[in-house]
């Protein structure tokens, strides 16, 4: 349970759980507004940067979470020195003939889809070192669980559009196996993909609202940094520049 990594003689456990991390986190999603965000914006700040799925290489985070097939992501990802979290069942997968276990700083998370309660409730009950992270077919939700597990009390969301005129900041279906349509021309998002995306966005919004309500009980706050996000109906909104300036190192 928890996280595992290849030590050279097999997979061993590793734990990041903490009651309070002591710093704030920025969680990057792949919404269109991410195109207005630059890696350099976060230089010299105390923010702990967490990217999911295709936010890399737009953002080079302090931690990356990707729960689809490893071969579907940007190939340069595996050479990067930051920690990368995959699902445990993919620990035997390869990328270009190399086992993902042998790439630098790759961890494998146990995921649990057999959730007996509301997923947003279970996140806050699963904070022990040896835990199974919730899986609702949604990397965003699991990433939030990992951040809670690591002790973050304030989370800023970037690229969290949850819909709009476009689906992704780069408008490309590449590296998206979850909703991949093999009949869609390369570089285009099919109608089928768009419909799947809209369903996912609605699920994410519902989950996020419930998550925030539960988080308030332990003093956790989620802040939107996406001006047009529908999540702003229940989240506080803050401009990117204001947040970054407030968290600059001396």
Domains and their CATH numbers in the chain: 3-244 (3.90.1480)
Q: Report the pLDDT averaged over residues 134-148.
A: 95
Mean confidence (pLDDT) of the chain: 88
Q: Report the pLDDT averaged over residues 57-64.
A: 96
Name the band, by pLDDT with cuts 50, 70 and 90, for residue 18.
very high
Q: What is the pTM of this model?
A: 0.88
Q: Report the pLDDT averaged over residues 57-70.
A: 96
Distance CA 127, CA 111 (A): 14
Distance CA 227, CA 78 (A): 32
Is 12 strand, coil or helix?
strand
Q: What angle do CA 38, 59, 82 make, to 5 degrees?
A: 140
Is 26 strand, coil or helix?
strand
Structure tokens at 85: 């979290």
pLDDT at 166 exceeding the cut of 90: no
Name the band, by pLDDT with cuts 50, 70 and 90, for residue 181.
very low
pLDDT in tens, 105-130: 999 999 998 887 799 999 999 999 99
pLDDT in tens, 27-53: 999 999 999 999 999 999 999 999 999
In 3D, which of 44, 60, 43, 48 has the Cα closest to residue 23? 48
Name the band, by pLDDT with cuts 50, 70 and 90, for residue 237.
very high
Q: Report the pLDDT averaged over residues 54-61.
A: 95
Q: Does residue 115 contact residue 131 with C-beta atoms inside 8 Å? A: no
Q: Does residue 132 contact residue 111 with C-beta atoms inside 8 Å? A: yes
Distance CA 138, CA 115 (A): 14
* 16 phi, psi to nearest 5 deg: -115, 5
pLDDT at 158 exceeding the cut of 50: yes
Name the DSSP letter for residue 248: B
Q: Report the pLDDT averaged over residues 163-182.
A: 51
Instruction: Provide the pLDDT for residue 247.
Output: 94
pLDDT in tens, 205-234: 999 999 999 999 999 999 999 998 999 999
pLDDT at 23 exceeding the cut of 50: yes
Bridge partners, 50 (sequence order): 27, 63
Percent of the chain with pLDDT over 70: 86
Instruction: Provide the pLDDT for residue 194.
Output: 59
Instruction: Provide the pLDDT for residue 164.
Output: 57
């Amino acid at each position: 349970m928890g996280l595992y990594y290849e030590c050279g003689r097999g997979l061993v456990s590793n734990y990041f759980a903490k009651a309070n991390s002591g710093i704030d986190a920025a969680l990057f999603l792949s919404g269109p507004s991410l195109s207005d965000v630059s890696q350099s914006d976060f230089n010299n700040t105390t923010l702990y940067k967490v990217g999911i799925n295709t936010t890399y290489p737009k953002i080079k985070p302090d931690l990356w979470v990707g729960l689809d097939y490893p071969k579907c992501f940007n190939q340069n990802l595996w050479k990067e020195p930051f920690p990368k979290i995959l699902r445990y069942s993919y620990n035997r997968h390869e990328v270009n003939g190399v086992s993902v276990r042998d790439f630098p700083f790759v961890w494998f998370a146990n995921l649990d889809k057999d959730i007996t309660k509301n997923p947003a409730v279970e996140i806050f009950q699963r904070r022990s070192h040896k835990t199974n992270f919730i899986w609702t077919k949604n990397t965003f939700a699991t990433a939030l669980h990992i951040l809670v597990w690591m002790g973050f009390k304030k989370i800023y969301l970037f690229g969290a559009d949850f819909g709009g005129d476009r689906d992704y900041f780069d408008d490309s279906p590449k590296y998206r196996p979850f909703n991949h349509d093999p009949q869609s021309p390369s570089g285009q998002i099919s109608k089928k993909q768009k419909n799947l995306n809209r369903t996912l966005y609605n699920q994410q919004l519902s989950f996020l609202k419930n998550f925030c309500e539960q988080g308030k009980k332990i003093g956790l706050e989620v802040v939107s940094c996406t001006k047009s996000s529908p999540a702003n109906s229940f989240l506080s909104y803050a401009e990117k520049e204001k947040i970054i300036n407030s968290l600059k190192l001396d």
